[in-house]
Amino acid sequence: MTGPLTGIRVIEVGGIGPGPFAGMLLADLGAEVIRVDRPTRGKDLGSHRILFRGRRSITLDLKQERGRGLLADLLSTADALIEGFRPGVMERLGLGPEVLIARNPALVYGRMTGWGQDGPLAMTAGHDINYIAVAGALEPLAGPDLAPKPPLNMLGDFGGGGMLLACGLLAALLHARETGAGQVVDAAVVDGTALLTSMLHGMRAGGDWQAPRGENRLDGGAPYYGVYRAADGGWLAVGAIEPQFYAQLLHGLGLAGEFREVAQNDRSAWPRVRARFAERIAERTRDEWAGVFAGTDACVSPAIAPHEVKDHAHVDARGTFIEDGGLLQPAPAPRFGGTPLTLPGPAPVPGADTRGLLREMGLTDGEIDELIAARTAGPPGTVAGEEQAPVELLGDPGAEVPPSTMR
């Protein structure tokens, strides 16, 4: 891997969702990211086969003191840590920030949770939909029946979570480079999602978001900003906010004369205009309309399904998606003129690099064999069906080494 983060070493303690997304971003940018998996994690990477790309993997059993010691040794050579356990878990394992930063003063200790390290909900479980609900980002998202509609898990987990953690880690790494002092980065999905609502709160303060859900400019209320069904069942995305773009929209739809005397932002006319737009767009297929508006500034785009993205001319021309072994995935981004990025390697089988990494840490083959025999470290492809007992140090049955960073 090459990129602007070449030379940075990040240890990612296994989890799912936003933590691995942050690890993927850093790996894509050239950082060496080493994932620490549980010995009982199997070969099937499931939905995380893209999020885990570009890593090396070592399996360590954190129930065992020797496993925890090996992780501490590994972190003594790292620039940053990513962990997504519930608050207090790493401390009870003897791997809290005070301990690790004392050993490695420049270590950036990244913590990824849903609710954050403190607050009334900090110790409770949650998922994307819960975090964005509390942050005020779900309620404004109106579906066809005006009920709030979950935006998959992209808004909270990845926009408000993993992206925020990556940004925080980079800022702390810059500070550590200048001062030699590491620190904790407390990245919470609820905090990051709240940040994403900054413009919405500005619009509220300015009087631009006062109507009920589904009746505002950007939530489907305005006829010039929404999604319409085409004749073939496909969908057309319309975003003609500026007057000059709206004029081109009307022209392309063949409705310029019909609405010549109707002001674009006459809210009383919006229901009638929206109904007419829907009726008109339903006369042609999605791709026919895409052809009508191609090359214009009407801000009209076909709503492309995930399996179609590679076929879109612009996306294809930019190489926005890549294929590796038949697996379609987003290419690393953004793009750098001086330190271009290389294509990421595939996600490793959990534990695939255990022996190599332990050798780099100075262990002999005999010592490594002993660790594997004791199940302190695992060989690649350990059977997935085995249950891992809770970590005895944690005390309560809901606080085992968690299978999720969504806490």
Catalytic residues: 127, 157
From 344, 252, 380, select the one nearest 33 (Cα to Cα). Answer: 344
CA distance 131 to 224: 30
DSSP 353-385: THHHHHHHTT--HHHHHHHHHTTSB--TT--TT
CA distance 377 to 136: 43
Q: 205: which residues sit within 8 A by CB, 6+ positions away?
A: none
CA distance 332 to 286: 29
The two structure tokens encoding residue 136: 């005020």
CB 162 within 8 A of CB 93: no
398 — phi, psi (to 5°)? -90, 5
CA angle 16, 53, 370 (to 5 degrees): 80
Separation in Å, CA 401 to CA 8, 76, 90, 118, 159: 26, 21, 9, 19, 25
